[in-house]
């Protein structure tokens, strides 16, 4: 079963937004063992969309089209698909009622335009919309199929996983199992990871030369706010064998990379902290300067954070550090300051452990220190946390203001994760 | 002069990396008034690349191909282009010396593979490499042209700007100027924007029917954290006329959309707040519950925020709301609570105006209230801020926990922007 993706939207051709939908769909197809042959983008022009659909469809069995299903005049994907199918658009009563209900539930008048979204090409099925007003479409063309999904990422993702992937798998009756596990790390550079794994790469290469089957492959993915991820993947007909060999390979990779590994089951750093704090009944608090609320915001991304997260004092202004936190240290970007900040936070937020952070975001120097100079402090009831290293750390980060703040945020979460592991 | 972009690389089809090169090239083409008709991606397979090049080239005058110029076995773009041109690859002595020198300068031995990069299709010109080892290629095909650039972003960008864009402009002898302005709004749905602009759409359409020149076009872009953007664009030979008519169209659009418009010059909401606070010497503070630091983090995204931003008290835990903020209100998600929160923040953070927010992120109800129920409060010195409406507002938001928190964050920033406008 070959698939292609077509993104509709002039805003992508103008470089105003990056097409992250295609990358998400590509990952989901891969995870389900479905081959992707190509990705294309076309602007909001009826004849060019029709042409692009025809060409993409000529190369695959199933085409996934995103975008152009909105309620406005330049949303013309459904018209283009109807042209390719050689049929008319007809109003669907069920969808019309659903869209009307969407607005009624919200006590908002329904713009007349939204009824465009109840139009379906004759012979097509619809995918009921759960999050927005645009339904998806499943459109047969001969023995091939076009899936149309809205361009709004969360609406697209929900429909893709609920309806499109199962539909493709059903049609393909796939017998190969493609699995992958992501080993997530923080604190190592990409080239250091490559160096540490070079023996493992050699081992896999020699297995390949021997013509062995079931050989896992390893790929890297670097991201400034989530770290280096190592994707270990394997496909084969025997699902049990695939799982077994994959698990063994993941163990090898994780053991080489050591404490830098924070998850092998797609947990994020904040989810790892959530798990540790929940399991061990630890409450946490934060005092943030440089990161201005970013650490808190990552922690509360996890539903249920209110069980262990007390809050964060974002003391951006030096005056506030002195008045609310009673910081005495002469320099607010220093080890002495972050120790005081953490201690004040511990008391004010009545938490078991408090993390503090201060640093220079740039572009200018502060207190004679270069952008990227960051201090992280910790404070806790030393009796209860006797096994935990509460020493402050100093980091030197490089990059733009935004990069420095993102890396500082993740470094702080990772430090908390490493230290709490020894609780 | 019509252009197309083709990205070569299996890693993009696997969703491992997002194709940000295409977005960069799209922006540069737009800025230079060069039309882009489509973007496609193809994996590292010779026959599929040849096919993709042929199809893209059939739709345009100039095709820009990125990726597949590296030194490894799966870098086969130059072979594919030679096949399309119907010629052989020949070694270029000058490039060979350049590559050898690259390694010699760095005291590194040159892998034999790198000499692949000195191979050029017969009849093609090369673009000398300044940053890496891969040269670019300019390959004539009949009266059309294919530009090949390396996939490494900084190498690609340098060659695009130094060589490809000037070459396209020279070939096209472009005299057209393409300009656009983005009208950014918050608080209206996409369909409501379309409805408000329908008269304007009709006016432009009738101008088109009359065969008039210099007719602006309007397109929408919706995003849950930045709102609905309306892109107004126009191209034409007379640059002064283009600017004049575009400005007039932007004024029409902005006046129809009223106070929902927060910028027509690509300022973000946080930059607008930065400008107002700096100009009027207003200091601000925050008390956040639901948004857990996200509002603070958006505000400090702007360099120089320390001049007016005092800090944020992220009181996530109810206990902390009572202890630090002295909240008396029995329900913490209520108008009464956000008024108290803002007043406490005003005092603790010694700021001129304090914004507070509380709400239900979900997935569960809280205090009997549905996810998406949000209250925003404001407090200020009422004498100084006598013209500013300090009444709290209640919002009903819909979507996932993440969507609710993002929309609440932007709604809070927008409320602050609207209210401060009247200071």
pLDDT in tens, A20-29: 899 899 988 8
CATH code for residues B269-421: 3.90.950.20
pLDDT given for residue A15 in this prediction: 73
Does residue A105 have a pLDDT over 90? Answer: no
Does residue B108 have a pLDDT over 80? Answer: no
Q: Is A4:A60 a contact under the CB 8 Å cutoff? A: yes
Does residue A171 have a pLDDT over 70? Answer: yes
For residue A55, the distance in angstroms to the closest alpha carbon of chain B comes to 8
Does residue A191 have a pLDDT over 80? Answer: no
CB pairs under 8 A between A and B: 257
Residues of chain B with Cβ-Cβ distance to A301 below 8 Å are 402
Residues of chain B with Cβ-Cβ distance to A18 below 8 Å are 18-20, 23
Mean pLDDT, range B171-185, rounded to an integer: 80
Contact A27 B14 (CB under 8 A): yes
Among A15, A131, A324, the residue with its CB nearest the CB of B26 is A15
Contact A313 B310 (CB under 8 A): no
Residues of chain B with Cβ-Cβ distance to A310 below 8 Å are 316-317, 319-320
pLDDT given for residue B174 in this prediction: 59
Domain boundaries, chain B: 2-172, 177-263, 269-421
Residue-by-residue DSSP string for B165-211:
HHHHHHHHT---EEEEEEEEE-SS-HHHHHHHTHHHHHHHHHHHHTT
Among A25, A286, A363, the residue with its CB nearest the CB of B303 is A363
pLDDT given for residue B31 in this prediction: 74
pLDDT given for residue B66 in this prediction: 96
Does residue B41 have a pLDDT over 70? Answer: yes
Residue of B nearest to A405 (CA): B301
Residues of chain B with Cβ-Cβ distance to A314 below 8 Å are 286, 293, 296, 311-314
CATH superfamily of B2-172: MoaB/Mog-like domain (3.40.980.10)
Among B192, B317, B400, the residue with its CB nearest the CB of A306 is B317
pLDDT given for residue A382 in this prediction: 86
Task: Give buried/exposed letters for A24-41 (b at 16+ CB in 10 A, else e).
Answer: bbbbbbbebbbbbbbbbb
Classify residue B383 by burial, with Cβ atoms within 10 Å: 0-12, 13-18, 19+: exposed
For residue A407, the distance in angstroms to the closest alpha carbon of chain B comes to 14
For residue B53, the distance in angstroms to the closest alpha carbon of chain A comes to 12
pLDDT given for residue A256 in this prediction: 96
ipTM attached to this prediction: 0.75
Residues of chain B with Cβ-Cβ distance to A44 below 8 Å are 219
Contact A305 B316 (CB under 8 A): yes
CA distance A332 to A357: 10
Contact A324 B231 (CB under 8 A): no
Query: Same topology for domains A2-172 and A177-263, yes or no?
Result: no
Does residue A52 have a pLDDT over 80? Answer: yes
Average pLDDT value for chain A = 91
**pLDDT digits 0-9 by tens, A318-372:** 999 999 999 999 999 999 999 999 999 999 999 999 999 999 998 889 999 999 9
Pick the most confident of A217-226, B10-19, B61-70: B61-70
Among A20, A38, A316, the residue with its CB nearest the CB of B300 is A316
Mean pLDDT, range A235-246, rounded to an integer: 91
Does residue B255 have a pLDDT over 70? Answer: yes
Q: Say if domain A177-263 classifies as CATH 3.30.70.1120.
A: yes
Q: Count CA atoms closer than 13 A to A112's CA, side-chain side.
A: 4
Residues of chain A with Cβ-Cβ distance to B348 below 8 Å are 324
Distance of CA B248 to the CA centre of its chain: 25
Residues of chain A with Cβ-Cβ distance to B296 below 8 Å are 292-293, 314, 316
Phi, psi of B363, deg, nearest 5: -70, -15
Does residue A219 have a pLDDT over 90? Answer: no
- Indicate the pLDDT class of residue B218, thresholds 50, 70 and 90: confident
Contact A23 B15 (CB under 8 A): yes
Average pLDDT value for chain B = 91
Residue of A nearest to B399 (CA): A131
């Amino acid at each position: 079963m070959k698939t292609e993706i077509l993104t509709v939207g002039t805003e992508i051709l103008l470089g105003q937004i990056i097409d992250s939908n295609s990358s998400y769909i590509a990952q989901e197809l891969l995870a389900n063992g479905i081959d992707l042959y190509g990705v294309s983008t076309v602007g909001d022009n009826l004849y060019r969309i029709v042409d692009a659909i025809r060409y993409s469809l000529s190369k695959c069995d199933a085409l996934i089209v995103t975008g152009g299903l909105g309620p406005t005049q330049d949303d013309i994907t459904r018209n283009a698909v109807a042209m390719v199918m050689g049929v008319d658009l007809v109003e669907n009563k069920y969808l019309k009622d659903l869209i009307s209900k969407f607005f009624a539930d919200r006590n908002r008048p329904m713009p007349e335009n939204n009824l465009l979204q109840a139009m379906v090409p004759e012979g097509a099925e619809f995918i009921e919309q759960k999050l927005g007003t645009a339904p998806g479409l499943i459109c047969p063309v001969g023995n091939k199929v076009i899936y149309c999904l809205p361009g709004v990422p969360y609406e697209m993702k929900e429909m893709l996983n609920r309806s499109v992937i199962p539909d493709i798998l059903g049609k393909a009756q796939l017998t190969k199992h493609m699995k992958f596990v992501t080993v997530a790390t923080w604190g190592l550079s990409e080239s250091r990871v490559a160096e540490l794994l070079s023996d493992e790469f050699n081992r896999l290469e020699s297995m390949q030369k021997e013509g062995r089957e079931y050989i896992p492959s390893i790929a890297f993915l670097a991201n400034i706010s989530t770290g280096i991820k190592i994707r270990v993947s394997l496909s084969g007909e025997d699902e049990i064998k695939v799982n077994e060999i994959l698990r063994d390979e993941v163990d090898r990779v994780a053991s080489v990379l050591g404490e830098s590994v924070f998850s092998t089951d797609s947990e994020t750093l904040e989810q790892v902290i959530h798990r540790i704090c929940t399991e061990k009944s630890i409450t946490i608090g934060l005092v943030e300067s440089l990161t201005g609320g970013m650490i808190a915001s990552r922690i509360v991304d996890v539903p249920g954070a209110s069980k262990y997260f007390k809050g964060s004092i974002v003391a951006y202004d030096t005056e506030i550090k002195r008045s609310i936190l009673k910081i005495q240290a002469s320099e607010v970007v220093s080890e002495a300051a972050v120790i005081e900040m953490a201690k004040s936070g511990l008391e004010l937020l009545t938490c078991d452990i408090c993390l503090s952070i201060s640093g220079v975001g740039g572009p200018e120097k502060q207190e004679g220190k270069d952008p990227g100079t960051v201090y992280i402090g910790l404070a806790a009831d030393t009796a209860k946390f006797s096994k935990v290293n509460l020493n402050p750390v100093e980091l030197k980060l490089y990059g733009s203001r935004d990069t420095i703040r993102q890396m500082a945020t993740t470094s702080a979460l990772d430090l908390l994760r490493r230290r709490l592991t020894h609780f």
